[in-house]
């Protein structure tokens, strides 16, 4: 097995501790919640080091008791109402920009921010650049599922409202890489979201994507499950669900809304009478375990895929548990050299698929040649 | 208040019993389940009459004990694997075709079928025609929600994978009409599904539709809530959610999949130990009530909107409870003269919106004129 070459400083030397870059500002609960999450995370990862970006006078008192944290002074803050374009033009002194630049400059292996999603994507694209072969970066989330790992990967859940066939191919490769490094699934099963599983169904770009992904799957080391439906998202039929950012965002929020509805109705029904209340009391451990199993804070962290570095967007409303979960994910991905592996995988496979579009049928000769030059991911 | 004029026989004279047209064939559970559901329904509605379509030798023995049922002989059956185009060309002798024609010919006020959705839509469009002002008919479903009625209306959930701004306007009008007649909500709140609630978000057709619907809302007697997100679908922020059939279908199936996931995990957790099992035993009445509250069989029946007659598509796998629920819905809509009310509402408002697109600003004069000629819905 060959190792991927280091790429823009995102691959840590194997024996050194992972360094993470954490934007302390911009979350709904303020830097206190972020630092509380950081404290939890550092207890779990005794080797990890963190660069914490934000106003020094605010952060210094908060981190006094934490080892392995370096405050990087950035006086300004991106707020939720800032427009991405404003931040791109005038955001150089913000904690978000500073956090992104730490990865750009090779000082850290991954970024975590609870800030404004649009601004974080804009600054990340500007400073880290898109990967060769990627036209539209995507946001991937982990979705509670019946899979043995407990989760499926779904992308794009909102980076871009459009995706053409080649974007969907890139999402397949990136999603498979993420399932491999993030969930430890050696050979992920990838499904393309549609309104039916028959091959003639859906929009033209989905039929085109179906062909492209089918061709790319063997070289991308994933299995293509073909079209899947909304009901398959939390199933164990697939590990990765690929869709455009409009559909993905609606599906994600619909799933969250449905879970909230059921949990609220369950609570109402179980507090409606003495038997229900007794039952709720008896089963409180079971209910707590179920709540933990589908707790959105446990899977806190949308990952931006397709950039020259690993960027993790934590929920704006994340509390200490949520921030710690996002940092753990960043740590796992940073340690695995995820950014470089993903870059290598996408560069080889997308180029190949583009050749196959241009040349008609892919020939075994150029196929073999391309695959030979691509570093293996694992 | 003026009454809508009868339209192609779909409006029953006020004092006569509603007649429903029921396709006995094509469901997964066979005509026995359909007739069992019919029996349940007739007990609840002592005035209703039903035309039951299918092979006479199969149906006659099944309905022997049922009053108020007339078997209409149709020797052939549309099966789930039949292509809509085949059924349109060669389906004249099928029970589905016969059931649709009973409404076309003014013999019944609404159709219920458990058969092939695509074929039912194709035959309905061919025989009942699209309403003036409707380019794409839609399928509307009832979605369990926190609203006082317990349900929201969502459309389109799969009639067409595309919808432009004018289609979305027509869906708003049709969805509002359906919420009024089907759920009894006098002034429905309509939301347009998007990836954010800000007006600058989303695809161009959504921004265009936002403008059109905003203009049409006062005359359509509904309130426009603007953009809503996936999380609002089961909420009490709106009564009607409007989207294209691709997004709607994915959202519907995602919601169903999420509900299945939670119910399966809940069952696993509550049977994992003695306390959980004791709790499940104590709270069985509460769990049953919750199950009933979100039981898909209770809301069985996607309604085809935008056609010259009321068509209700029951789940293919519907059992007697599901079929009875679909018949009840058909009865409620038939009794309300839904088809004619909807037709009047759409014809006036869509024409008006089209004028406003052509002329720039709608003038009070032509607006007032148009509204004056439209029969009121209620």
* Interchain contact, A282 vs B272, CB within 8 Å: no
Tell me: the pLDDT tens digits for B186-217? 999 999 999 987 777 788 999 999 999 999 99
pLDDT at A157 > cutoff 90: yes
Q: Looking at beta carbons, which residues of chain B come within 8 Å of A271? A: none
User: By the CB < 8 Å criterion, does A368 face chain B?
Assistant: no
Tokens of A241: 């669900």
Question: A81 to each of A84, A308, B163, how far by Cα in Å?
Answer: 9, 26, 31
Nearest to A155 by CA among A137, A141, A145: A141
Tokens of B184: 């009894």
User: By the CB < 8 Å criterion, does A378 face chain B?
Assistant: no
Residues 6+ apart with CB under 8 A from B179: B153, B185, B188, B239, B240
pLDDT at A364 > cutoff 50: no
How many residues are recorded in chain B? 378
> Which residues in chain B land under pLDDT 50?
1-13, 358-378
Q: Looking at beta carbons, which residues of chain A come within 8 Å of B282? A: 275-276, 278-279, 282
Residue B241 CA to residue A254 CA, distance in Å, equals: 12
* Interchain contact, A195 vs B249, CB within 8 Å: yes
How do beta strands A189-193 and B240-242 pair? unpaired
* Interchain contact, A282 vs B270, CB within 8 Å: no
Residue A61, classified by CB atoms within 10 Å of its CB into exposed (0-12), middle (13-18) or buried (19+), is: exposed
CB A74 within 8 A of CB A98: yes
Tokens of A148: 């043995």
Q: Looking at beta carbons, which residues of chain B come within 8 Å of A282? A: 275-276, 278-279, 282
User: By the CB < 8 Å criterion, does B289 face chain A?
Assistant: yes
pLDDT at A208 > cutoff 60: yes
What pLDDT, on the 0 to 100 scale, is given for residue A367?
A: 36
Q: Looking at beta carbons, which residues of chain B come within 8 Å of A145? A: 261
| Minimum mean pLDDT range among A3-17, A258-272, A354-368, B243-257 | A354-368
**ipTM attached to this prediction:** 0.81
CA atoms within 13 A on the CB side of A163: 33
Report the residue from B162, B232, B251 with minimal CB separation from A251.
B251
Q: What is the dihedral of CA B228, B233, B236, B238, to 10 degrees?
A: 50
* Interchain contact, B144 vs A261, CB within 8 Å: yes
* Interchain contact, B233 vs A257, CB within 8 Å: yes
Tokens of A42: 């550092």
Q: Looking at beta carbons, which residues of chain B come within 8 Å of A203? A: 161-162, 246
Which of B151, B191, B230 is the best residue to mutate to test the A interface, defined by the most A CB atoms within 10 Å of its own CB?
A: B230
**CA B13 and chain centroid, separation:** 23
* Interchain contact, B233 vs A254, CB within 8 Å: yes
DSSP label at residue B187: S
Residue A137 CA to residue A155 CA, distance in Å, equals: 10
| Minimum mean pLDDT range among A140-144, A245-249, A341-345, B103-107 | A341-345
pLDDT at A360 > cutoff 50: no
pLDDT at A9 > cutoff 80: no
CB B8 within 8 A of CB B308: yes
* Interchain contact, A231 vs B245, CB within 8 Å: no
Q: What is the residue whose two structure tokens read 């026995």?
A: B32
Q: What is the residue whose two structure tokens read 């009625």?
A: B149
How do beta strands A310-313 and A302-305 pair? antiparallel
What pLDDT, on the 0 to 100 scale, is given for residue B77?
A: 96
Q: Looking at beta carbons, which residues of chain A come within 8 Å of B253? A: 229-231
| Shortest CA distance from A264: residue in chain B | B146
Looking at chain B, which runs of residues are DSSP E strands? 19-23, 49-54, 69-73, 110-113, 138-144, 151-155, 189-193, 223-228, 240-242, 302-305, 310-313
Q: Looking at beta carbons, which residues of chain A come within 8 Å of B144? A: 261
| Shortest CA distance from A271: residue in chain B | B286
Q: How confident is the model at residue A198 (pLDDT cuts 50, 70, 90)?
A: confident
What pLDDT, on the 0 to 100 scale, is given for residue B6?
A: 38
Q: How confident is the model at residue A365 (pLDDT cuts 50, 70, 90)?
A: very low
Nearest to A169 by CA among A198, A125, A207, A118: A207
pLDDT at A205 > cutoff 60: yes
DSSP letter for each residue of A248-278:
HHHHHHHHHHHHHHHHHHHHHHHTSSHHHHH
Tell me: the pLDDT tens digits for A111-124? 999 999 999 999 99
* Interchain contact, A279 vs B275, CB within 8 Å: no
| Phi-psi domain of A226 (left: phi exceeds 0; alpha: psi -120 through 50; beta: other) | left
| Minimum mean pLDDT range among A74-78, A179-183, B288-292 | B288-292
Q: Residue A340: what are its φ and ψ, rounded to 5°?
A: -70, -40
* Interchain contact, A265 vs B293, CB within 8 Å: yes
Q: What is the residue whose two structure tokens read 């209703």?
A: B48
User: By the CB < 8 Å criterion, does A260 face chain B?
Assistant: yes
| Shortest CA distance from A254: residue in chain B | B230
* Interchain contact, A283 vs B276, CB within 8 Å: yes
What pLDDT, on the 0 to 100 scale, is given for residue A262?
A: 80
Chain A 127-186, CB below 8 Å of chain B: which residues? 144-146, 158, 161-162
User: By the CB < 8 Å criterion, does A257 face chain B?
Assistant: yes
User: By the CB < 8 Å criterion, does A251 face chain B?
Assistant: yes
Mean of pLDDT values over A324-343: 91
Chain A 181-210, CB below 8 Å of chain B: which residues? 193, 195, 202-203
- Kindly state the percentage of chain A with pLDDT values over 90: 62
* Interchain contact, A287 vs B265, CB within 8 Å: no
Mean of pLDDT values over A217-236: 94
What pLDDT, on the 0 to 100 scale, is given for residue A1?
A: 33
Looking at A179-334, which runs of residues are DSSP E strands? 189-193, 223-228, 240-242, 302-305, 310-313
User: By the CB < 8 Å criterion, does B264 face chain A?
Assistant: yes
Tokens of B104: 């076309």
Q: Looking at beta carbons, which residues of chain B come within 8 Å of A249? A: 195, 229-230
Nearest to B338 by CA among B106, B177, B155: B177
Question: B139 to each of B28, B121, B134, how far by Cα in Å?
Answer: 20, 9, 13
3-state helix, strand, coil in chain A (%, to 5): 45, 15, 35
pLDDT at A76 > cutoff 60: yes
Q: Looking at beta carbons, which residues of chain A come within 8 Å of B273? A: 286
Tell me: the pLDDT tens digits for A24-70? 998 999 999 999 999 999 999 999 999 999 999 999 999 999 999 99
* Interchain contact, A257 vs B230, CB within 8 Å: yes
| Shortest CA distance from A202: residue in chain B | B161
Helix (H) or strand (E) holding A334: helix A320-335
Tell me: the pLDDT tens digits for A288-310? 766 666 665 556 679 999 999 99
| Shortest CA distance from B288: residue in chain A | A269
Mean of pLDDT values over A356-374: 38
Count of C-beta atoms within a 10 Å radius of residue B76: 18
Q: What is the residue whose two structure tokens read 């990865």?
A: A103
Chain A 206-235, CB below 8 Å of chain B: which residues? 229-235
User: By the CB < 8 Å criterion, does B80 face chain A?
Assistant: no
Residues 6+ apart with CB under 8 A from A291: none
| Minimum mean pLDDT range among A219-223, A277-281, B47-51 | A277-281
Helix (H) or strand (E) holding B246: helix B245-270
Q: What is the residue whose two structure tokens read 């909500």?
A: B185
* Interchain contact, A161 vs B202, CB within 8 Å: yes
What pLDDT, on the 0 to 100 scale, is given for residue A276?
A: 67
């Amino acid at each position: 097995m060959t190792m991927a070459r280091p790429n823009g400083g995102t691959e840590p030397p194997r024996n050194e501790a992972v360094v993470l870059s954490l934007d302390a500002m911009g979350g709904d609960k303020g830097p206190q919640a972020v630092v509380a999450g950081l404290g939890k995370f550092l207890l779990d990862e005794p080797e990890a080091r963190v660069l914490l970006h934000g106003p020094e006078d605010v952060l210094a008192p908060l981190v006094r008791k934490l080892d392995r944290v370096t405050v990087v002074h950035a006086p300004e803050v991106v707020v939720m109402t800032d427009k991405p374009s404003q931040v791109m033009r005038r955001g150089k002194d913000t904690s978000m920009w500073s956090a992104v630049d730490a990865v750009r400059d090779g000082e850290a292996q991954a970024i975590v921010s609870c800030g404004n999603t649009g601004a974080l994507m804009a600054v990340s694209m500007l400073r880290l650049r898109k990967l060769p072969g990627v036209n539209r970066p995507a946001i991937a989330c982990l979705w509670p599922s019946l899979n043995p790992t407990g989760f499926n990967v779904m992308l794009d859940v909102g980076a871009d409202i459009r995706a053409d066939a080649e974007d969907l191919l890139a999402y397949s490769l990136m999603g498979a890489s993420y399932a491999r490094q993030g969930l430890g699934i050696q050979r992920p099963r990838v499904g393309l979201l549609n309104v039916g599983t028959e091959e003639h169904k859906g929009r033209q770009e989905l039929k085109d994507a179906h062909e492209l992904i089918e061709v790319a799957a063997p070289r991308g080391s994933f299995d293509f499950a073909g079209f899947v439906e909304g009901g398959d998202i939390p199933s164990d039929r697939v590990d990765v669900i690929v869709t455009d950012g409009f559909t993905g965002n609606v599906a994600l929020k619909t799933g969250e809304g449905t879970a909230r509805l059921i949990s609220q109705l369950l609570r109402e029904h179980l507090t409606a009478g003495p038997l229900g209340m007794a039952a709720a009391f008896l089963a409180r451990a079971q209910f707590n375990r179920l709540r933990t199993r589908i707790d959105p804070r446990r899977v806190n962290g949308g990952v931006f895929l397709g950039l020259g570095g690993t960027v993790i967007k934590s929920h704006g409303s994340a509390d200490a548990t949520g921030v710690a979960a996002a940092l753990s994910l960043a740590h796992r991905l940073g340690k695995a050299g995820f950014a470089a592996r993903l870059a290598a995988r996408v560069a080889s496979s997308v180029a190949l698929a583009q050749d196959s579009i241009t040349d008609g049928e892919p020939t075994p000769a150029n196929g073999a040649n391309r695959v030979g030059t691509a570093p293996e991911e694992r």
